[in-house]
Structure 1
């Protein structure tokens, strides 16, 4: 199956970073109090659970991956590599106040084990603008280099672990926030950020906006035997987080293509 190598490279010039209608930090926006508990899929599992059948099967096609955060601590990368894992995403940051304390071991350790790695940012759109969080992410592990072993960064958009599902934003406000982050990340790194989100949350909080599907690769969580319906615009996912109960670390993923195509995504 082909992949959304959706750094399709449509040149987006560096625009004014504060957009009309973009969410700014609320004056009383709280600093995240338990960022170590917030990882890719933590709130998806809580709000959406697994498939009704309860069956979780390893997808047959694609390239095996995993994702980790401080929740896993020091990761046995050699064991994951031996088990077939060829790529990983590692939580780097949340809001503008948190950096994963295990990030260095996880990011460098995966690289040394021969695993293609990337990092992700857990978004809190009620604490600051998308541009501010994108800059914080890039400055604390979210950058990209053309070394063939580093994936473009990912933006984790999911249910608010601290309150209102959509962080108090309107649907258009949420679209503007994501666009603000994506444009800033592109200006800083030259790459289109990978977008992690569930179809259900995306429909609820953006009105199922299709405006990112031509530029931003989709990383979708759905814990069951099939990937399920995708958000509007995307014809296929780039990465599928298919289980939270995998071997060695819980979250396992499948890249929608061969290892050669994965390397092409890393190389831009």
Structure 2
């Protein structure tokens, strides 16, 4: 029987150690760093997926037409200094109200009413999670928790924020046709509850990938396009122009800044229906 040489024994022990480590790694819980890569439910906000998937490519050039500055806010911004924003030229705002059918923004009251109280025209948005519940269920949840509309001249129609999934599969495990059906379910329910057509917030790349660049909503639902660049670029199918443009997530005071494609009277016109 041949004797094992020292080098052979060391190699065998090393191989056994590596095998044991690999097996052990399959049963260990995620580290805090690994867990941090998946955001907590409810923490999503406008543009979260857009920045992660599409990045930032400069700031807008000087607008060719009159535009009106706005902001959008969510719980991660906490209590907002609305007076400072108003004095800086911001005239309209949207606050996140809900996500799925499981989350409401704890700062919604301060954000939604605070913007109104300084004179802004304001509205609410819903972060969609099409893989959790139906479009109708989420529209009802949105309306029931701050996403309604009234013809007071200061309240903008609700927004469906439909974008890259921060929690998993980009298209929420839905085919393009199933995604279009889900969106239609939300929009139809929202209109039945409020009498208004909701605004759609999205990016062209997500819309193209996850709806097959569906063109059927452009005639009724205003477009809020997300693109952090010097221009809006190509719009999703069905829209010849945008109503609002989220152009940066790193603006002054509050990060997410937007431009309304028109003067203040056009913002008022959208609020009035």
Calculate the TM-score normalised by the size of structure 1.
0.85
Distance in 1 (CA, whole Å) between partners of 2:60 and 2:216 is 31
Which position in structure 2 is the counterpart of 1:45?
A: 51
Other structure's SS at 2:247 match: strand
**For 1:184, which of 185, 189, 192 is the aligned residue?**
189
Q: CA deviation at 1:36?
A: 4.4
Q: CA deviation at 1:57?
A: 3.1
Other structure's SS at 1:121 match: strand
| 2:126 is aligned with 1:121 | yes
Distance in 1 (CA, whole Å) between partners of 2:60 and 2:202 is 21
| 2:63 is aligned with 1:57 | no
Residue deviations 1:202-253 (CA, integer Å, cap 9, x gap) = 0000000000000000000110111111000101100000111111000100
In proportion to residue count, which structure has more helix? 2
Residue deviations 1:167-196 (CA, integer Å, cap 9, x gap) = 111100000000000000000000000000
Q: CA deviation at 1:162?
A: 1.2
| 2:234 is aligned with 1:259 | no
Q: CA deviation at 1:103?
A: 0.2
Which position in structure 1 is the counterpart of 2:7?
A: none
Other structure's SS at 1:141 match: coil
Distance in 1 (CA, whole Å) between partners of 2:229 and 2:96 is 23
Distance in 2 (CA, whole Å) between partners of 1:107 and 1:117 is 7
Maintained 8 Å contact 2:135/2:184: yes
Which position in structure 2 is the counterpart of 1:5?
A: none
Where do 5+ consecutive residues of structure 2 fail to align?
A: 1-37
Other structure's SS at 1:132 match: helix
Q: CA deviation at 1:33?
A: 6.5
Q: How many residues align?
A: 234
Maintained 8 Å contact 1:59/1:225: no
Which position in structure 1 is the counterpart of 2:207?
A: 202
Maintained 8 Å contact 1:36/1:71: no
Which position in structure 2 is the counterpart of 1:70?
A: 75
Q: Cα RMSD (Å) of the superposition?
A: 1.2
Q: CA deviation at 1:201?
A: 0.2
Which position in structure 2 is the counterpart of 1:228?
A: 233
Maintained 8 Å contact 2:61/2:231: no
Calculate the TM-score normalised by the size of structure 2.
0.84
Structure of larger gyration radius: 2
Distance in 2 (CA, whole Å) between partners of 1:175 and 1:97 is 22
Distance in 2 (CA, whole Å) between partners of 1:40 and 1:259 is 23
Maintained 8 Å contact 1:198/1:221: yes
| Cα 1:132–1:205 shift into 2, 3 Å | same
Runs of 4+ in 1 over 2 A off after TM superposition: 57-61
**For 2:246, which of 222, 230, 241 is the aligned residue?**
241
Q: CA deviation at 1:34?
A: 1.6
| 2:226 is aligned with 1:193 | no
